[in-house]
Amino acid sequence: MPSHMELGVSKIVQNLLTSSAERQQGSKVLIHSQPDKKAIIAMIEQLQMVLFPDYFVKKKVSRYAAEYYIGSVLDEIYINLVGQVALVLLQLDVFQKADETIRNAEATRIVEQFIATLPQIQSYLYMDVDAAFDGDPAAFNKDEIIFSYPGLYAIMVNRLAHELHLLKVPLIPRIMTEHAHSLTGIDIHPGATIGKYFFIDHGTGVVIGETTEIGDWVKIYQGVTLGGLSTRAGQGLRNHKRHPTIENRVTIYSGASILGGETRIGEGSIIGGNAFITKSVPPHTRVSIRNPDLEFQRDEMEETDQSKYWN
């Protein structure tokens, strides 16, 4: 006698597929036209290898063969990225009905532009390493920063994703930055514009919104939000500047929130921990929570069973 399962499973499978197909207007069931998330993540690793060849090449390569090896990895990036971009172009109205040849040509044009920016991105990243070393007394040396600092990783992925964002590639830049978000707890939208010598220390909980602009020599700490004032208008706010502008040489300590598209933090200012700022701050200003309004009271420490470790 067939079990409940045997009778029911066929219906469950059909439900799962139908519901999905309806959502997608029947047009994309198990299609081959979505980007491959794992391939995109693998590509980030290869880009990291190409940008920091002394650190992330995982196998022995002879010195004389460095050019062969990096050239070969770069070609792999090139081929994979053209493939992924050609798929996501389907998300744009103008390419939705374009055949594969046209999308491949456009994807090739985009990816060649992207790859041409890599040397510049590399030079910015070495500046970011310098900023981290000068900014963090706990940094043993620059190698430690390149190998292990989550802030540098998040900035690297943002700099790469931002180029693709400027080239109007849909989906992929966000998949890239959300991967960095997952690894680092730092959520930088690909649309955010970031200057030279940027440093994020610790980083967990940092949020930097789509239309944020950040100058040079800026340093921020964990838990900082550079966000929108309100998002209650939903999709109606699309394409407005909703996030703040941070000028050169600003430092923002942990937990501070700076909100709103009109809000501008002037050059050289310092924003203290947990500050909540929704208006502009003039240059060279130090903003801090005035009197941490705390109550101190001696505690009568009863020793209950449950609290034996915690009292």
Q: Is 60 in the site for a copy of itself (CB under 8 A)?
A: yes
Q: How far is the CB of 43 from a copy of itself (least distance, A)?
A: 14
CB 195 within 8 A of CB 225: no
User: Maximum CA pair distance of the chain?
Assistant: 80
Q: Is 68 in the site for a copy of itself (CB under 8 A)?
A: yes
Q: How far is the CB of 69 from a copy of itself (least distance, A)?
A: 5
Q: How far is the CB of 127 from a copy of itself (least distance, A)?
A: 9
Residue that the structure tokens 């700490």 belong to = 221
Q: Is 257 in the site for a copy of itself (CB under 8 A)?
A: yes
Q: Is 71 in the site for a copy of itself (CB under 8 A)?
A: yes
Q: Is 24 in the site for a copy of itself (CB under 8 A)?
A: yes
Residue that the structure tokens 């390149």 belong to = 146
Map the footprint of a copy of itself across residues 272-291, applying CB under 8 A. Answer: 272-278, 281, 284-291
Q: How far is the CB of 261 from a copy of itself (least distance, A)?
A: 11
**Rounded to an integer, what distance in angstroms lies between the CA atom of residue 55 and that of residue 122?**
13
Structure tokens given for 201: 């220390």
Listed in sequence order, the residues at least 6 apart from 164 whose beta carbon sits closer than 8 Å to its beta carbon are 110, 114, 172, 173, 176, 190
Q: Is 62 in the site for a copy of itself (CB under 8 A)?
A: yes
Structure tokens given for 206: 């940092």
**Rounded to an integer, what distance in angstroms lies between the CA atom of residue 171 and that of residue 16?**
25
According to CB under 8 A, which one of 84, 158, 225, 245 is a site residue for a copy of itself? 225
Q: How far is the CB of 95 from a copy of itself (least distance, A)?
A: 14
Q: Is 104 in the site for a copy of itself (CB under 8 A)?
A: no
Q: How far is the CB of 257 from a copy of itself (least distance, A)?
A: 6
Residues in contact with a copy of itself, shown as a per-residue x/- string from 112 to 151 under the rule CB under 8 A:
x--xx-xx--xx--x---xx-xxxxxxxxx-xx--xxxx-
Burial of 206 (0-12, 13-18, 19+ CB in 10 A): buried
Closest-CA residue to 172 (of 47, 265, 259, 263): 47
According to CB under 8 A, which one of 174, 212, 261, 265 is a site residue for a copy of itself? 174
Q: Is 25 in the site for a copy of itself (CB under 8 A)?
A: no
Count of residues near a copy of itself by CB under 8 A: 167
Q: Of 78 and 95, which has the nearer Cβ to a copy of itself?
A: 78
Q: What Å distances lie between residue 207 and 158, 238, 264, 306, CA to CA?
A: 12, 18, 17, 38
Bridge-based pairing of strands 257-259 and 245-246 is unpaired
